Amino acid sequence: MSGRSVIIGSGCFIPTQIITNRDFTVHDFYDENQNRITTAPEIVTQKFQEITGIEERRYALEDQTSTDLAFYAASEAIKDADIDPETLDQIIYAHNYGDVTKHHIQTDAVPSLGARLKRRLKIKNPSCTAYDLLFGCPGWLQGVIHTDAFFKAGVAKRILVVGAETLSRVIDPYDRDSMIFSDGAGATILEWQENSSSGILSTAAVSHCIDEVDYINFGKSNFPFSDPRIRYIKMKGRKVYEYAMKNVAPAMKSCIEKAGVDIHEVKKVFIHQANEKMDEAIIKVLFKMYQLPIPEHIMPMSIHKLGNSSVATIPTLYDLVKKGQLPDHQISEGDIVIFASVGAGMHINAVCYRV
C-alpha cells in the first residue's frame, strides 16, 4: 500500500467578541451605486439572515491580528498532533489581507505572515520554510493540496497548514455584504505516512479568471462621501452564487471519481461556510448529479454562529466536528469525507479524504 498525506492534528481559534445581527440595525446601508437603501435596517438584517443563515459572527479583539489568531490555532494543532514543532518542514499560511491593525487602513504582509508565525512558535530550524498563500477563501484547502504534492515529491514529510483572517478590518460598514464576514483561524498538521489507509485520496482545483476575476475584489465604499483612496472587500453576490452553482459540484464530483470512491461512502462534506442557502444548493446539485437525495447530516455547518471567516471556515469546522463540538456530527476512523471551497479568483478546490 502506498503512502498518503494524513492529518495528524488540528486546532482552531474562535474570537471571543460576538457581533449579532442586531448590532447592524444602527447602520445606514447604501447600494453599489452609492444610493441609500431606504428599507429599514431591521428588515435588511432579517432578510440577510433568511438568505445566509448567519445569526452572529465573531470579530477579533482590538489588539489581535491575523497572526495572533493563527498562532493560537497552530499551537492547538501542534498540541493535538503531539509533535515537536522543530520537526516541521514547512509552514503554509493562507490568508488574503495580511495583518490589519484595528483603526488602520493598510494591510501588512512584509515580512510574510508565515515568517511571523514561525517566530511566534519559536521554531529555530532554518530548514522549516514558512510562506504565505493567497488563493481567496479556498486558500487553506489549496495549502493542503500543495502539501500533498510536496509529500509526493519527497521534499517534505510534515507540514503545518494554517488559514487565518480578520475580515472585520476590511469590510465596508455601509455595505450589506459586510454582515457576512468574520474573523477566525484554523490549522492542521499533515504528515506523510507509508502504508497508511487513511489520508488524502484525491484532489481537484480549477480557476476561472476572465469575466469571473472581479466577482470578489477590493473596491471603494458604498458611502458617497467616503475617502476614495480607501478600499474594502466587495462582492458581486449574484455572480458568485451563479458561478458556484455551475462549477463547484462538478469539481467535487471529479475529485470523488478520481479517488475511485462511491458517493454512498461519503459520510461528511466540509464545505466553505460562505452562505447557508448557497452551500445547501451546491450539495443538492452534487447529489442530483448522482440522482440521489441529500443524505441526512451530510453537511455540518458553523456559519450560523461564526459567519464567513474565509480561509478559516473549513479547518475550523473540521476541528469542531473532530472534537465532538457540533451536535449530530461525528467522524470515525475509515470515514470518507470531502473538503470543498470556492472563492475570489474565482477558484474552486476539493479534497477527498479518508479519516
Answer yes or no: are the C-beta atoms of 308 and 55 closer than 8 Å. no
pLDDT band, very low/low/confident/very high, at 104 (cuts 50, 70, 90): confident
C-alpha cell at position 190: 499533515
What's the CA gap between 319 and 325, in Å, rounded?
8
Reply yes or no: is the peptide bond before residue 41 cis, omega within 30 of 0: no
Summarised one tens digit per residue, pLDDT across range 24-80 is: 999 899 999 999 999 999 999 999 999 999 999 999 999 999 999 999 999 999 999
pLDDT band, very low/low/confident/very high, at 106 (cuts 50, 70, 90): confident
Reply yes or no: is the peptide bond before residue 289 cis, omega within 30 of 0: no
pLDDT band, very low/low/confident/very high, at 248 (cuts 50, 70, 90): very high
CB atoms within 10 A of CB 243: 18
pLDDT of residue 84: 98
pLDDT of residue 2: 79
**CB crowding 77-92: b at 16 or more within 10 Å, else e:** bbebbebebeebbbbb
pLDDT of residue 220: 94
Summarised one tens digit per residue, pLDDT across range 49-58 is: 999 999 999 9
Which helix H or strand E contains 98, and what residues bound it?
none
* Domains of the chain with bracketed CATH: 4-197 (3.40.47.10), 200-354 (3.40.47.10)
pLDDT band, very low/low/confident/very high, at 1 (cuts 50, 70, 90): very low
pLDDT of residue 184: 98
pLDDT of residue 280: 95
Answer yes or no: are the C-beta atoms of 95 and 132 closer than 8 Å. yes
Answer yes or no: are the C-beta atoms of 118 and 112 closer than 8 Å. no
pLDDT of residue 327: 86
Q: How many helices (H) and strands (E) does the chain have?
A: 8, 13
CA neighbor of 335 nearest in space, from 315, 355, 352, 351: 355
Name the pTM for this structure. Answer: 0.95
Contacts with 243 (C-beta within 8 Å, 6 or more apart), sequence order: 208, 212, 215, 342, 346
Answer yes or no: are the C-beta atoms of 252 and 138 closer than 8 Å. no
C-alpha cell at position 119: 517566530
* Interval 162-175 mean pLDDT: 96
What's the CA gap between 119 and 201, in Å, rounded?
33
CB-count burial class (<10 Å; 0-12, 13-18, 19+) for 318: buried
Q: What percent of the chain has pLDDT over 90?
A: 95
Share the mean pLDDT of the chain.
95
If you search the block for the grid coordinates 489568531, which residue do you land on? Answer: 69
pLDDT band, very low/low/confident/very high, at 89 (cuts 50, 70, 90): very high
Per-residue DSSP letter, 328: T
Answer yes or no: are the C-beta atoms of 212 and 310 closer than 8 Å. no
SS3 300: coil
